[in-house]
Amino acid sequence: MNQPLTVFVRADSVQLQDFARLCGQHANPQDYPHCSEVQGNVPIYQAQALREGDRGQVLDELHRLFRDGPGVMVVRQGYADLNVVDRHSQVFDAIFAKEAAQGLTADHFAKAGSNGRIWNSLQKAALQSPSSFVEYYANPLLGLVAEAWLGPGFQVTAQVNVVHPGGQAQQPHRDYHLGFQTEDVVERFPLPLHALSQYLTLQGAVAHSDMPLETGPTLLLPFSQQYAQGYLAWRRPEFIDYFQQHAVQLPLNKGDLLFFNPALFHAAGTNQTPDRQRMANLLQISSAFGKPMESVDRERMMLALYPCLLQRLADQVLDAQELDAVIACTADGYSFPTNLDTDPPLHGLAPQTGQQLMRQALRERWTYATFADRVAQMSAKRQA
């Protein structure tokens, strides 16, 4: 009789040799036919190749990359029009100024003064400048990569990080969900839930500045997401030493995109320059089935963005794919949780989502007042 699998494991059970064997793999470019090259075991994609590729094949390839492959990818020229990125950087600058005036400067993940952080940059940017939000999040590549890992109905959250000159490197770590729990809490979860955690989010970043190596772009350890006990391992000295010896860094250009499995061991690097800031919009995209890290007032975002979307459709400057991309980043794409007494499914097995409501309103060209009324009705129906 085979020995039963131990599903509750302790931190002292981790084995560096098992981890090193997984991290010693090599990414074969032939396994990722849409990529242009592999650098440091990281597949590099050109944005145009992803846009023009067969959607089903691209989704399958990227999912395999995050699960069975190196777990990290770069998209060059994710934003071909850098003016879009620069305009959104100006929106972030305005938010930074507003929050500094309010005394909101704390960042729990870095030494005081070494960086700047905007929490919930998604909602704040939507309210600060709807027009910039629409053109920025109208990028279908964001949704393409997110759907490859998470499926439809994903929930976008975002946080801006600016690393000032001299900002120091982070300790290598894994990310939300279990990556944000203490070791003793992680030990209470059965090992299959450790694997499940990585399927609940996707980490991404939009480079808002050029990031040569001296500015400290993210250190990455390809294939490290495959180690089943990694949420118990990343704090241990021998794993930190291994990371520091084997992690890779790739320079990024403004407009490039970086995506990785949240279980990948990674860490922000040291900004060694005397006068250059490193700025990124960090995307933490959650599965429809998981709890996002940040609370986002999506109904307020829907109301703020609706007039701009309506006008852009009237001006014929937003195609259907771009419209879907904005709506996916704005409204909730999942029907639950809700109050099934007041919000029963009328056409199928699930009630209408915020995304479906927004698409219907734009398709039928509702007035703002009508849309606002229907959003209020939807909100009221979903209350317990």
Residue position matching structure tokens 């480079």: 207
Contact yes or no for 231/194 (Cβ under 8 A) = yes
- Considering the entire predicted model, what is its pTM? 0.95
254 and 136, same domain (yes or no): yes
Query: What's residue 185's pLDDT?
Result: 97
262 and 322, same domain (yes or no): no
* Tokens coding 205: 């970043």
Query: What's residue 2's pLDDT?
Result: 62
Per mean pLDDT, which range of 2-16, 58-72, 232-246, 339-353 is the poorest? 2-16
Tell which residue, 382, 360, 383, 384, has the closest CA to residue 371: 360
Q: Is residue 4 part of a domain?
A: no
54 and 102, same domain (yes or no): yes
313 and 265, same domain (yes or no): no
Quote the domain boundaries for residue 106. Answer: 11-286
User: Sorting pLDDT into bands at 50, 70 and 90, what band is 340?
Assistant: very high
pLDDT 10s digits, 211-245: 999 999 999 999 999 999 999 999 999 999 999 99
| Host H or E run for residue 46 | strand 42-46
368 and 271, same domain (yes or no): no
208 and 256, same domain (yes or no): yes
pLDDT 10s digits, 241-267: 999 999 999 999 999 999 999 999 999
Per mean pLDDT, which range of 124-128, 165-169, 227-231, 310-314 is the poorest? 165-169
Supply the mean pLDDT for the chain. Answer: 95
Q: Is residue 291 part of a domain?
A: no
Distance of alpha carbon 309 from alpha carbon 312, whole angstroms: 5
Distance of alpha carbon 343 from alpha carbon 32, whole angstroms: 44
Output the domain CATH number for residue 244.
2.60.120.620
Q: Is residue 182 part of a domain?
A: yes
Contact yes or no for 271/244 (Cβ under 8 A) = no
Domain termination residue (choose one: 258, 286, 314): 286
Residue 110 has pLDDT above 80, yes or no: no
Phi, psi at 46, each rounded to 5°:
-90, 135
Query: What's residue 108's pLDDT?
Result: 52
pLDDT 10s digits, 296-325: 999 999 999 999 999 999 999 999 999 999
Phi, psi at 283, each rounded to 5°:
-105, 125
Domain termination residue (choose one: 243, 259, 286): 286
| Host H or E run for residue 260 | strand 257-260
248-249: strand order across its sheet = 248-249, 219-220, 266-267
User: Which residues lie closer than 8 Å to 104 by C-beta, 6 or more apart?
Assistant: none
| Host H or E run for residue 76 | strand 72-76
* Tokens coding 264: 């990948």
Query: What's residue 103's pLDDT?
Result: 82
359 and 217, same domain (yes or no): no
Could you give the number of structural domains in the chain?
Answer: 2
304 and 346, same domain (yes or no): yes
Q: Is residue 293 part of a domain?
A: no
More confident position, 4 or 380: 380
Query: What's residue 242's pLDDT?
Result: 98
245 and 370, same domain (yes or no): no
User: Which residues lie closer than 8 Å to 148 by C-beta, 6 or more apart?
Assistant: 58, 59, 60, 61, 62, 63, 66
Average pLDDT, stretch 30-37?
Answer: 98
Report H helices in the chain: 16-23, 47-52, 55-67, 82-101, 121-128, 130-137, 140-150, 183-186, 191-198, 230-233, 237-246, 298-314, 320-330, 354-363, 368-382
Phi, psi at 236, each rounded to 5°:
-80, 140
DSSP class of 29: G
Average pLDDT, stretch 162-168?
Answer: 92
Per mean pLDDT, which range of 66-75, 104-113, 202-211, 298-307 is the poorest? 104-113
84 and 225, same domain (yes or no): yes
DSSP class of 164: P
176 and 41, same domain (yes or no): yes
Per mean pLDDT, which range of 204-213, 217-226, 337-346 is the poorest? 337-346
115 and 258, same domain (yes or no): yes
pLDDT 10s digits, 8-24: 999 999 999 999 999 99
Phi, psi at 201, each rounded to 5°:
-145, 160
Domain termination residue (choose one: 286, 317, 348): 286
User: Sorting pLDDT into bands at 50, 70 and 90, what band is 175?
Assistant: very high
Note the residue count of the chain.
384
Q: Is residue 1 part of a domain?
A: no
